[in-house]
Amino acid sequence: GAVVSQHPSRVICKSGTSVKIECRSLDFQATTMFWYRQFPKKSLMLMATSNEGSKATYEQGVEKDKFLINHASLTLSTLTVTSAHPEDSSFYICSARDPRGGENSPLHFGNGTRLTVT
Amino acid sequence: EDQVTQSPEALRLQEGESSSLNCSYTVSGLRGLFWYRQDPGKGPEFLFTLYSAGEEKEKERLKATLTKKESFLHITAPKPEDSATYLCAVAPFGNEKLTFGTGTRLTIIP
């Protein structure tokens, strides 16, 4: 069964509005979660690392004011796309590692959120 | 900089026709190489982790192998339900971040 739950699976919003995406770890606590973005026929690109209780770490070229990340608890991270524009339309996927599997435990991914900005 | 290149980009096979997918990589000290399966509109589903050259892992019709430069995902007698995009990723020592390839889109024709 799924170990990482992501919601919503699809969202359509108007340009200029903000959208929040939730990522939950099921059955385990995750001090770190990862947010990826995927374009058609492209590889998954890491956007940021979400850290429970502290600021997120953003990859080079990712606007922290555009993509707000909050990791308020050990099972929940949220990504808010602020003032969305059509170029933000994409497939956003979160992931987390079950710490009980040790340092080599694989990343488990949510089912993604398809964002369409009109 | 870590790099992952997957080939072919797309592969169409008849049901039962075995083949292999390739993942070439460069990484500053390999902690692990990961294979994932991704269905359309879904997140990647974990398949295998390989840690050192010579290692092999199997799951149903899939077998993953690893050398110092590349990994292969062998698929034996595939079925239509094996159709998906297969992603390869590497992680270096001391870093939780994964670098992904662009995937191989596999289609199995009944």
Q: Which of A32, A43, A109 to mutate to test the interface with B (most CBs of B within 10 A)?
A: A43
Residues B96 and B2: beta-carbon distance below 8 Å: no
Give the model's pLDDT for residue B63: 98
Distance CA(A74)–CA(B82), nearest Å, equals: 35
Min Cα separation A30/chain B (Å): 13
Give the ranges where B2-62 is alpha helix by DSSP (H): none
Asked if the Cβ–Cβ distance from B45 to A109 is below 8 Å, we say yes
Q: How far apart are CA B66 and CA B25, in angstroms?
A: 11
User: Residues A82-102: what's their mean pLDDT?
Assistant: 93
Three-class secondary structure of residue B82 per DSSP? helix
Confidence band of A103 (pLDDT split at 50, 70, 90):
confident
Confidence class of residue A101 from pLDDT cuts 50, 70 and 90?
confident
Structure tokens, A103: 């340092």
pLDDT at B105: 96
Instruction: Specify the pLDDT at position B95.
Output: 79
Residues of A in contact with B9 (CB under 8 A): 41
Q: Would you state the pLDDT for residue A1?
A: 57
Give the number of other CB atoms < 10 A from CB of residue B2. 17
Residue-level pLDDT at A32: 92
Please check whether residue B25 is in contact with residue B6, taking contact to mean a CB–CB distance below 8 angstroms.
no
Distance CA(A48)–CA(B41), nearest Å, equals 21
Is the CB of residue A97 less than 8 Å away from at least one CB of chain B? yes
Mean pLDDT, rounded, of chain A: 93
CA closest to B95 among chain A residues: A103
* Contact with chain A for residue B94, Cβ under 8 A: no
* B46·A108 Cβ contact <8 A: yes
Q: What is the pLDDT along chain B (110 residues), one digit of tens a residue?
A: 899 999 999 999 999 999 999 999 999 899 999 999 999 999 999 999 999 999 999 999 999 999 999 999 999 999 999 999 999 999 998 877 899 999 999 999 99
Residue A19, CA distances (Å) to A53, A92, B41, B106 in order: 22, 12, 19, 33
pLDDT digits (tens, 9 = 90+) for A24-82: 999 899 989 999 999 887 889 999 999 988 899 999 999 999 999 999 899 999 999 99
* DSSP-derived 3-state class of residue B81: helix
